[in-house]
Structure 1
Amino acid sequence: MPWLPILIAVPAVGALGVSLLPKGSDKLAKQLTLAVSLVVLALTIAMATQFSAGSKERFQFAQTYDWIPAFGVHFGVGVDGIALVLIALSVILVPIVVLASWHDTDASPDGHAEARPKRSTKTYFALILALEAMMIGVFAATDVFLFYVFFEAMLIPMYFMIGSYGGPQRSYAAVKFLLYSLFGGLLMLVAVIATYVFQAVPQGGEKSFLFTELIGRIQDPATQKWLFLGFFIAFAVKAPLVPFHTWLPDAAAQAPAGAAVLLVGVLDKVGTYGMLRFCLELFPDAAKFFTPLVLVLSVVGIVYGAIVAIGQTDMKRLIAYTSISHFGFIALGVFAMTSDGGAGATLYMVNHGFSTGALFLIVGMLIWRRGSQFISDYGGVQKIAPLLAGAFLIAGLSGLALPGLSSFVSEFLVLIGSYTVYPVYAIIATLGVILAAIYILWMYQRTMNGPTAESVKGMADLNIREKWVVAPLLVLIIGLGFYPKPLLDVINPAVKQTLSTVGVSDPAPKVPAAAEQKGAGQ
């Protein structure tokens, strides 16, 4: 069963089908998009049930077809535990986003429409399905050139989703997003071509872009460093990692809520996934050389993102800056190069998608009712919309990594994994935990507590559709907070395989001197 080609093809064909619907078929376009996304989710679940965490194969469900034989390019797909959980994140979020975006292309009910969409409703939902196909493809690609193609192609639907359906400054935000991403992509293209040119081919072998065949072929230390930088900067822009982050607050603030979820919840994860998959394994010596620099950027991002988030007056920009802080944690876990750090970083990618996705969608519901993104325009919402406020609180507490909610497990593993090898960086990173409590709880206090603002009186609570949007995310946030074992059982073997390829191992446990002397005496 060619699971992965089918998973890529179904939403791609669905996008084409939605786009070909006759004019005025808005409701049918929404229903068809939701149906296709649910089919993709069901297929992914069926595939995941056949995944073996204990398999000795590096990539399962692998399919490889010649694409451009003259240059060793293949349509190669396959998944390990890391790719599988990120594909699962993508296909879970898409139907939720479709349901949440049911009225994103309509005018706001209170007349506070941000800007009239430039394109039709069916185009918006076709773009969601096209983006889903590319998100699955980028995580499933086992050919570096194919990965690059999906990496760049994802920009197109997201650019139109922001630029055609976003807020008043959507054109500026979309162009800024595109230019930053194209700059990073250009550097990556140069590095991809150079990887092909400078690879050392074993006797009787041929040059190739297949990931498994590229491992160990770039042997010159200086070449590794230059190629590492080409890949890393592209991934740092996508992630986004400080100082390549400035496009994200504008893009997230202007994008429709559903598009913002896919942008921050999935697309940005391609950056940290690329660091873990390609930067570490293809250029292990360069990765070790640049680790101190990346760790500095990570902890700066953690603290900087959190501090700037505290001062935001726009809810969507605030959530965007919190994500910059969270991506610092993920990069810290990746470059700590320990099994706990790598597993925590991968789990953080998944949990951040759910918690930040929930925050963006709930804020989108508030904006739909009130017509404003500014915190000062709200107050006392808890009294008139308790379900909405309760969902906001749970999603926010997950964002600050409260024990019992999913992000806590991820953040704890990252800090433990990094502390064993880089204690100073881990200690500095804990400031982000403290600052997170400030920016989340202060935002909640100003919007949900206190006297009810005149502008929100009469605000409706969650309706049936919105409950179906929020409920799955809250269940995942709470469920993975108490029982993350199913995901970690899949992630851990893949992380250990990655570290083995890089040539690093976990440090031996340190025994306190007093305990060591007592043991020797006994």
Structure 2
Amino acid sequence: MSLLLAVPAAVGLWLVTAGRALPVGRARATAAVGAVLALVLAVATALTAPSVDRPWLPELDVRFSFGVDGIAVPLVLLTAVIGVLVVAHAWVDVPEGGTPATFLGCLLLVEAGALATFTARDAVMFFLAFELVLVPMWVLISRYGDRHDPRARTDAGHRFILYTAVGSTLMLVGILALVASAGTSDLRELADGAGAALPPGRQLLVAILLTLGLAVKVPVFPLHTWLPPAHTTAPTAGSVLLAAVLLKMGTYGLVRLPVATVPDGFAAISPALAVAGVVGILWGGLVCLVERDLKRLIAYSSVAHMGFVVLALAAGTETGLQAALFANIAHGVVSALLFVLVGGLKQRWGSADLAVVRPALRETSPRLGFVLVTGLAATLGLPGLAGFWGEVLAVYAAWDPAPDRPRVVFVACAVGAAIGAALAAAYALRVARLVWVGDEPDPEGENPTPDAVGVEAGVLGALAAAVVLLGVLPGPLLAVTAAASAAIGGAP
């Protein structure tokens, strides 16, 4: 467990400090070794479930405590796999803005912070790990982002810092109130009843603070406005980490903190959270119907898809929790696939403007065209692909919520979410018409779009295979999360 956290952190820190002057080849090789070792350690951690628990700040009863369970294991593996893929993508594209070593080091530092977040068993350690990601992600957005519009890049970096800092402040106040009231910062003890023993008023206050703070990272409507600029500006690897890993830290935090530790307080605010999630689903879908920038469109689709995760969590049942956990992983894989693809298209075309008429992608670049159709089909929730199970289970959970939830509100939310799924089909088909079908074929080859080859094809192929595998075989992931979901989620 200690090595899992130390390897990407140490390699990443060395690359951005002592090794920042490395030539690009050696920087890539060093980062690749760190990412592969982290993946091997993540697999070993998933198989053996090790843990570490040592005093760190005895005066404050804060412990260096890390471990995994059925909720953490899928996210640890997802983070490690995405870490390898974004480092591999550096063989395709290392953006300008700084040294290659600094870019690759920041990727590993983001991975290290996410791994620590998903394995932390102490509430204070969770907060520290959560914050570790902030600086390297800001560097990726503000220094290595799109060079065409410096003002937009600066604005996106400032929004990311401002929103995340405000959300983190609310979360910290909530954690301190929870720990001070319960007398422990151990997440296991808090989930076993120490948090639920708080008076109802204190539970409600803690739930509001924690949920608002974490909702910024998810993001939940209307706290989502930092995400589209960040995605539009960030380099491809940064967008992949942001969508596939960082957003999952917010939903994971919701599960570990308000859902598990102050269940009565969370139940009181769950109707408002469910409504916000559904508004995000509908708002994101409507924006995607008219958005011209393809990368920004994928960002708004993330807002919509994370709305399904929030809705499922708010339902308060074991089914809802499993739906949220499955949709979390599915969105990570699908969004990573689409951002790698769109980043490649933007690099080839010079922009991602859907208003520009281009030759049919299916004709000029059949591999990229196939991956695009696969990603869009998963986005609209086509059965047999990863996006289907999380969304259908989320709607089912909202239709039959926990007994302490207002059924009328949640049934209305289930209907709204179903309408949002129809909007997803509409905007996915719009993108397919504009990009995959495109204009007339280009027999003269005047406007070629080079197809994916080599490392890029390998990265896209791995993600596309994961999208299909999760759709065809959802059972293993649901089985991994079943026991932990039963312990937290309450009645099925």
TM range (shorter): over 0.9
- Corresponding residue of 2:137: 158
Structure whose CA Rg is larger = 1
Report what 1:486 is aligned to.
476
The answer to whether the 8 A contact 1:400-1:436 is kept is: yes
SS of the residue 1:191 aligns to: helix
Q: Secondary structure at the match of 2:71?
A: helix
Count of equivalent residues: 473
Q: 2:39 aligns with which of 23, 38, 41?
A: 41
Residue aligning to 2:106: 127
The answer (yes or no) to whether the contact 1:379–1:456 under 8 Å persists in 2 is no
Given the superposition, is the C-alpha separation of residues 340 and 23 from structure 1 closer, same or farther in structure 2, using an over 3 Å criterion?
A: same
- Residue 487 of structure 2 is matched in structure 1 by 497
Distance apart, 1:270 and its partner CA:
1.0
**Counterpart of 1:415?**
395
> Of the candidates 209, 213, 223, which is equivalent to residue 189 of structure 2?
213
2:457 counterpart residue number = 467
Is residue 2:230 matched to residue 1:233? Answer: no
Task: Give the counterpart of 1:476 among 442, 446, 466.
Answer: 466
2:329 matched to 1:332? Answer: no
Distance 1:104 1:189 in 2: 37
Deviations 1:453-493 (A, max 9, x none): 79971221111111111111111111111111111110111
Mapped partners of 1:380, 1:196: distance in 2: 57
CA distance in structure 2 between the aligned counterparts of 1:455 and 1:363, rounded to whole angstroms: 21
Structure 1: runs of 5 or more not aligned: 51-59, 107-116, 200-206, 507-522
Are the aligned partners of 2:28 and 2:90 in contact in 1 as well (CA < 8 Å)?
no
Which residue of the partner structure matches residue 16 of structure 1?
13
Structure 2, unaligned runs of 5 or more:
402-409
How far, CA to CA, are the matches of 2:429 and 2:88 in structure 1?
A: 28
Q: 1:355-396 CA deviation, whole Å, 9 max, x = no partner?
A: 111000000111111110211233412211111111111011
User: Contact conserved, 1:72 with 1:208, CA < 8 A, in 2?
Assistant: yes
Deviation of 1:447 after TM superposition, in Å, equals 1.4
Give the corresponding residue for 2:301. Answer: 322
Q: Report the aligned-residue RMSD.
A: 1.6
> Which residue of the partner structure matches residue 404 of structure 2?
none
Q: Give % identity.
A: 32
Change (3 A) 1:187 1:455: farther
What letter is aligned with 1:381?
L
State the AA in 1 paired with 2:363.
Answer: K
1:223 aligns with 2:202: yes
**Partner amino acid, structure 1, of 2:464:** L
Q: 1:434-449 counterparts in 2 under 5 A?
A: 434-449=422-437
Aligned to 1:165, the other structure's residue is in SS state coil
Q: Residues of 2 paired with 1:376 and 1:99: CA distance? A: 31
Q: 1:157, 1:328 → 2: CA distance?
A: 26
Indicate the SS of the match to 1:66: strand
1:198 Cα shift?
2.2
Q: Which residue of 2 aligns with 1:515?
A: none
Contact 1:370 1:455 survives alignment (8 Å):
no
Letter in structure 2 aligned against 1:495: S
CA distance in 1: counterparts of 2:134 and 2:46, whole angstroms: 28
Of 393, 408, 418, the match for 1:430: 418
Q: For the residues of structure 2 that align with 1:22 and 1:456, how far apart are their CA atoms? A: 41
User: If the length of structure 1 is used for normalisation, what is the TM-score?
Assistant: 0.88
Equivalent residue of 2:125, what SS? helix
Which of 458, 470, 478 pairs up with 2:448?
458
Matches of 1:340 and 1:208 in 2, distance apart?
29
Whether contact under 8 Å (1:66, 1:75) holds in the other structure is yes
Q: Distance in 1 between matches of 2:291 and 2:5?
A: 38
- The answer to whether the Cα contact below 8 Å between 2:337 and 2:375 also exists between their aligned partners in 1 is yes
Find the residue that maps to 2:53 and give its secondary structure.
strand
Q: Name the structure 2 match of 1:203.
A: none
2:351 match: secondary structure: coil
**Alignment equivalent of 1:32, drawn from 30, 33, 52:** 30
Alpha-carbon separation, structure 1, partners of 2:223 and 2:80 = 28
Deviation at 1:49, TM superposition (A): 2.6
Q: Does 1:280 align with 2:259?
A: yes
What code does the residue aligned with 1:92 have? V
Spell out the pairing of 1:303-322 with structure 2 (5 A cutoff).
303-322=282-301
- Cα distance between partner residues in 2 of 1:61 and 1:337: 30
Select which of 290, 297, 303 maps to 2:269: 290
Amino acid at match of 2:454: I
Output the TM-score relative to the length of structure 2.
0.93
